[in-house]
Amino acid sequence: MALYTTIHLHNVPAGREAEYAAWFDGPHRQALAALRGFRETDRYEVTPQQIMPDIPQPWRFLSVYDFDLPSPAIDLPALGPLIAAARDAGLVADDETERLYSYEMYTDWKISPNWNRAEPLSGVSIILANYVPGRHAEYQDWYENVHSVEVINVPGHVGMMRGKLSALQIEPRHYCPGDQLVLCAQQTDNLLFTLKDFSARAGGRSPSGIAMQPRSASGSTARTVHYFRKVSGSRFWPGGIAYAGDLSVYRDLL
């Protein structure tokens, strides 16, 4: 068995958001349940709060599909027709933004003491990341033993999964800017505070007294960061207001 995560980044035509949501939490979930190795899925909407505000946010919605596949080459492509059903019904905007990327995960969730198992996630963030060529081992050591621990212990951040871009991809295929996926989970009703404290820890000025270590030179600056709030299922946390302050220091720690 192997852990795989597929992310579906997309937009929905104006006025059809409720229709898409009903499809996703109804017939789509039912169809997913029949797939071998399917674990779970959830759907998210981009937040006004972003840690790197100059990074484009071309996607309003993100769906995350988690699998533990007995035979990835056979099983992973089965997701394609299920997502195509929404595309064929006109529920996915034909605006050249839709992307499907599948990653082979290194491990399951690494969780922090912040994680409340009795509560749902409020949202997730994704980094489409890369490492500097020739420094893969260094990058993995830094992320696994240093940076992941720093990140998931920020208040509001509760867990992280990481993976590498799979040789197996689902049609329609597009160039992927991130060979590495960093998927971070949140449980918070104040994402603004989480981002501000992350920035403060990055700059060594957090009221907690915690300062993050400098970003490893093995991590490429070719990366994009995207925060989303959970909108599927029976419960999700409310959004907040956009933050206009300076969080630019964070870019050097991602």
**pLDDT tens digits for range 154-166:** 999 999 999 999 9
Containing 32, the helix (H) or strand (E) segment is helix 29-32
pLDDT of 138 above 90: yes
Distance CA 42, CA 127 (A): 17
Distance CA 99, CA 10 (A): 6
The pLDDT tens digits for 78-87 are: 999 999 999 9
Q: Is 13 exposed, middle or buried (0-12, 13-18, 19+ CB in 10 A)?
A: middle
Q: Which two tokens stand for residue 39?
A: 């674990």
The pLDDT tens digits for 169-228 are: 999 999 999 999 999 999 999 999 999 999 999 999 999 999 999 999 999 999 999 999
Kindly report whether the global pTM for this prediction surpasses the value 0.75.
yes
The residues, any chain, with a CB within 8 Å of residue 52's CB and separated by 6 or more, are: 224, 225, 247, 248, 250, 251, 254
- Whose tokens are 């907690």? That residue is 208
CATH number attached to the domain at 2-252: 3.30.70.100
The residues, any chain, with a CB within 8 Å of residue 63's CB and separated by 6 or more, are: 7, 8, 10, 24, 41, 42, 43, 44
